């Protein structure tokens, strides 16, 4: 009888451990590759980190697949505007850990009627202009649009 109780307790502990591992893996995978929620008025805030000073030699440029997104962008004067843009390419550098650090997004801005360059860390919120899907992780979504795979 004691043996069955010990086995039952150990089984519940193992199931709880597997459950937590599953939750953690799901969070990681859905953040990197998951489908974003649909809600056209959602606001997503990000911390404003200054991009590190880079040499032009350190940055690389990649073209993006055609799309239209709506962004809430905070400019250098801390003024926020909503803009519908058509991303054209990104400027990035590779970190030492092999992950890309996307610094700038160049896109045609429908508000200004010309191409503009946006600092990615100043994009407060974004969603797909056609479907309304919320773009939770803007840098990851932009990287997916390049079609490049990460060599991790």
Question: Domain extents for the chain?
Answer: 1-34, 60-146
What would the pLDDT profile of 26-49 be if each residue is shown by its tens digit? 655 555 554 444 444 443 334 444
What pLDDT shows up at residue 32? 54
Between vectors from CA 51 to CA 146 and to CA 60, what angle results, nearest 5°? 35
What pLDDT shows up at residue 117? 95
Place of tokens 């039952």: 8
CA 126 to CA 137: how far, in whole Å?
9
What would the pLDDT profile of 55-79 be if each residue is shown by its tens digit? 555 888 989 988 999 999 998 899 9
Instruction: List CB contacts of 67: < 8 A, sequence separation 6 or more.
Output: 86, 87, 128, 145
**pTM exceeding the 0.75 threshold for the entire prediction:** no
């Amino acid at each position: 009888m004691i043996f069955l109780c010990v086995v039952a307790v150990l089984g519940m502990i193992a199931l709880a451990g597997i459950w937590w591992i599953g939750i953690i893996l799901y969070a990681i995978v859905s953040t990197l590759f998951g489908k974003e929620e649909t809600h056209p008025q959602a606001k997503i805030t990000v911390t404003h980190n200054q991009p590190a000073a880079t040499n032009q030699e350190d940055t690389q440029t990649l073209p993006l697949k055609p799309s239209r997104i709506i962004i809430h962008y905070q400019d250098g004067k801390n003024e926020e505007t909503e803009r519908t843009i058509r991303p054209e390419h990104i400027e990035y550098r590779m970190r030492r850990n092999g992950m890309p650090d996307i610094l700038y997004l160049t896109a045609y801005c429908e508000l200004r009627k010309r191409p503009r360059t946006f600092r990615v860390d100043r994009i407060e919120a974004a969603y797909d202009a056609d479907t309304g899907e919320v773009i939770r992780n803007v840098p990851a979504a932009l990287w997916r649009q390049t079609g490049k795979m990460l060599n991790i």
